[in-house]
Amino acid sequence: MIDIKLLRTEPDIVRENIKKKFQDDKLPLVDKVIDLDKEYREAKQKAEALRNKRNVVSKEIGMLMGQGKKDEAMAKKTEVTDMAAELEALSVKETELEAEIRKIMLTIPNIIDPSVPIGKDDSENVENERFGEPFVPDFEIPYHVDIMEKLDGIELDPARDTSGNGFYYLKGDIARLHSACLSYARDFMIDRGFTYYIPPYMIRSSVVDGVMSFAEMENMMYKIEGEDLYLIGTSEHSMIGKFIDTIIEEDKLPQTLTSYSPCFRKEVGAHGIEERGVYRIHQFEKQEMIVVCKPEDSMKWYDVLWKNTVDYFRSLDVPVRTLECCSGDLADLKVKSCDVEAWSPRQKKYFEVGSCSNLGDAQARRLKIRIKGENGTYLAHTLNNTCVAPPRMLIALLENNLNEDGSIRIPEALRPYMGGKSVIEVPKK
């Protein structure tokens, strides 16, 4: 959510930003908010003037009563009563206008960073840099589910019976490899100075409103029926929510946190749920990074975060690249974002395994996350990034470490978490 002062004083900047995001249908909202804001401030000023007048008249009543002028005092009392009724009506109007302004402001996109490439959708995202040499072996790489089934590591049919499409049972060494990726990611991030958290897996609607747009919420989140609670789609939601309505001393910044959680997503929309696969599913686990910092430091931390993910994947010998999200592919709260994509030797292309985002002060404004400095309080900046999200990570790991006989090489960094194993062998029939 942008600062309404910017909209009041520089509406053309807001309009141009909307155009850059190819959301021209939102252009009329700028003038609508300006009009509503003017009406709101006029009602507020009128109410303030009326309160001052009421205080003056109330004092006059006491003076008149002291002078024995009862009739004049009673007339003043009637005037005060009328003013009270008018104040009540103005208070209701202020509340209604404030709510309507906030509702619209939540839909106006954040001002993007000047470095963001302009483009309509993800087809116009821009490759930044590649890390590691992508390769394709001289034998055919099966679909990831076929690899797992050959290793007796996944059961899809029982999961459909218990839960439907978008769920799975992992078992044996594949389940262990899944957990190893997460355990290694936890220690990897701790070694980089991040504080480890396991957060609540459900959050209130007030936090949901603070961390994401309404459209994202509708397409992603599961609501707990009869409760003001939602299952989290990522631990970022809980972790940013942890700071709701707080004032952080400057010397306590930056806050650098890493959190583990299961994640639950509807996956409503064009992509849909895979019937046979673990790329797009309803339930998965993730190791996340979250930073709360001073505004002048947020771009520095943005670079630190995406590099952490690149370094994690490269430590497992998985080739990756970073892809800059263009303006039209940028979620409304984001200032800047890039995806980390892993190489798929089967598909001979890269696919998304993580996303790094700088949200500026958008979440902080919604959730009232402030910093206390020498010259008063100001809004923090928030950032988040995926370190690793199995089982999507498993696809990259399995394909890039597959042997011709169907066995899997275990990267050296994961071996301590796999009981020292260096290979996952194909079970003998």
Residue 105 reports pLDDT greater than 70: yes
Question: Would you state the structure tokens that stand for residue 237, as one six-digit string?
Answer: 């939601």
Q: Is the peptide bond before 254 cis (omega within 30 degrees of 0)?
A: yes
Give the residue-averaged pLDDT of 126-141: 96
Q: Give the whole-angstrom CA distance, residue 170 versus residue 232.
A: 22
The region of weakest confidence among 90-94, 197-201, 285-289, 345-349 is 90-94
Output Rg (C-alpha) for the chain, integer angstroms: 28
Residue 252 reports pLDDT greater than 80: yes
Residue 183 reports pLDDT greater than 80: yes
Q: Give the whole-angstrom CA distance, residue 384 versus residue 239.
A: 10
Paired sense of beta strands 246-249 and 369-373, if any: parallel
pLDDT at 66: 76
Give the residue-averaged pLDDT of 253-261: 98
Give the residue-averaged pLDDT of 197-212: 93
Percent above pLDDT 90 for the chain:
79
Residue 36 reports pLDDT greater than 80: yes
pLDDT at 78: 82
Residue 224 binned pLDDT confidence (cut-offs 50, 70, 90): very high
If one compares 66 and 223, the residue with the highest pLDDT of the two is: 223
Q: Give the whole-angstrom CA distance, residue 55 versus residue 52.
A: 5
pLDDT at 274: 61
Q: Is the peptide bond before 391 cis (omega within 30 degrees of 0)?
A: yes
The region of weakest confidence among 61-65, 263-267, 356-360, 403-407 is 61-65
Give the residue-averaged pLDDT of 50-77: 78
pLDDT at 345: 97
The region of weakest confidence among 46-55, 145-154, 309-318 is 46-55
If one compares 67 and 159, the residue with the highest pLDDT of the two is: 159
Domains in the chain (CATH in brackets) are 4-105 (1.10.287.40), 122-424 (3.30.930.10)
Residue 147 reports pLDDT greater than 70: yes
pLDDT at 334: 96
Residue 257 reports pLDDT greater than 90: yes
pLDDT at 63: 78
If one compares 81 and 373, the residue with the highest pLDDT of the two is: 373
Residue 271 reports pLDDT greater than 60: no
- Using CB atoms within 10 Å of the CB of residue 28, give its burial: 0 to 12 exposed, 13 to 18 middle, 19+ buried: exposed
pLDDT at 42: 94
Residue 325 reports pLDDT greater than 70: yes
Residue 272 binned pLDDT confidence (cut-offs 50, 70, 90): low
Give the residue-averaged pLDDT of 401-427: 97
pLDDT at 268: 54
Residue 113 reports pLDDT greater than 70: yes
pLDDT at 406: 96
Residue 51 binned pLDDT confidence (cut-offs 50, 70, 90): confident
**Within 10 Å of residue 154's Cβ, how many Cβ atoms?**
23
pLDDT at 317: 94
Beta strands in 106-225 (DSSP E): 126-131, 154-155, 169-170, 195-197, 202-203
Beta partners for residue 258, in sequence order:
196, 289
Residue 273 binned pLDDT confidence (cut-offs 50, 70, 90): low
Q: Give the whole-angstrom CA distance, residue 46 versus residue 381.
A: 35
Residue 216 reports pLDDT greater than 80: no
Active site residues: 265, 280, 352, 355, 392
Average pLDDT, the chain: 92
Residue 99 binned pLDDT confidence (cut-offs 50, 70, 90): very high
Q: Give the whole-angstrom CA distance, residue 212 versus residue 216.
A: 6
Q: Give the whole-angstrom CA distance, residue 293 versus residue 382.
A: 7
Stated pTM of the model: 0.89
